[in-house]
Amino acid sequence: MPGTRDGIVYGPAALRSAARGDRIVWAMHRAALANGIIPVVPAVAVADAYRTEARVDRLEELLAGSEVEDLRDPSARRAGELAARADTSDLVAVAVAEAASRHNAAVVASRQNALRGAAGLLGHELVLYAV
């Protein structure tokens, strides 16, 4: 079994679930904040959620208690290299996996092979709540 985790990273599916009113996601988000844990969201995941969700008011309510991480050098280069190694064009999944590895965090996202593949290449055993 993977070891303990220190935080939470949200993928686009977590944001979409919250926007669509998934109450367990909101309850977990509340629990994280109550325990002093600020979920991390890669900026590309935010972009993807805003691409597909109409309820941006709910996205904003969730993101008010999240840390949106910009994709800058050297993380951008690492993400690109990792995507190449994982043989995927899914940069969102790769960025989520990279953030999870860097923060030793569990992930709330959809089940994606790209996510698992990228985490595996990083030697990070994925702890995932699939929404």
Partner 1 sequence: MIKRSVSLADDVAKAVEAAALEDGVSFSSWLSAAAERQLRVRQGLRGVAAWETEAGTLTAEEIAAGEALLARLLSGVSGMASRVRRR
Question: Can you tell me the distance from the alpha carbon of 24 to that of 2, in angstroms, rounded to the nearest whole number?
Answer: 23
Smallest separation, CB 80 to partner 1 (Å): 27
By CB under 8 A, is residue 17 in contact with partner 1?
A: yes
Could you tell me the two tokens for 129?
Answer: 């709540």
By CB under 8 A, is residue 62 in contact with partner 1?
A: yes
Q: Contact, 9 vs 40, CB < 8 A? A: yes
By CB under 8 A, is residue 4 in contact with partner 1?
A: yes
Coil, strand, or helix at residue 131?
coil
Smallest separation, CB 33 to partner 1 (Å): 4
Among 19-27, 40-48, 75-83, 84-92, which window interacts with partner 1 (CB under 8 A)? 19-27
By CB under 8 A, is residue 51 in contact with partner 1?
A: no
Smallest separation, CB 84 to partner 1 (Å): 27
By CB under 8 A, is residue 38 in contact with partner 1?
A: yes
By CB under 8 A, is residue 56 in contact with partner 1?
A: no
Classify each residue of 1-26 as buried b or exposed e, where b means 16 or more C-beta atoms within 10 Å of its C-beta.
eeeebebbbbbbbbbbbbbeebeebe
Q: What character string, x for contact with partner 1 (CB under 8 A) and - otherwise, covers 88-117?
A: ------------------x-x--x------
Question: Can you tell me the distance from the alpha carbon of 131 to that of 104, in angstroms, rounded to the nearest whole number?
Answer: 20
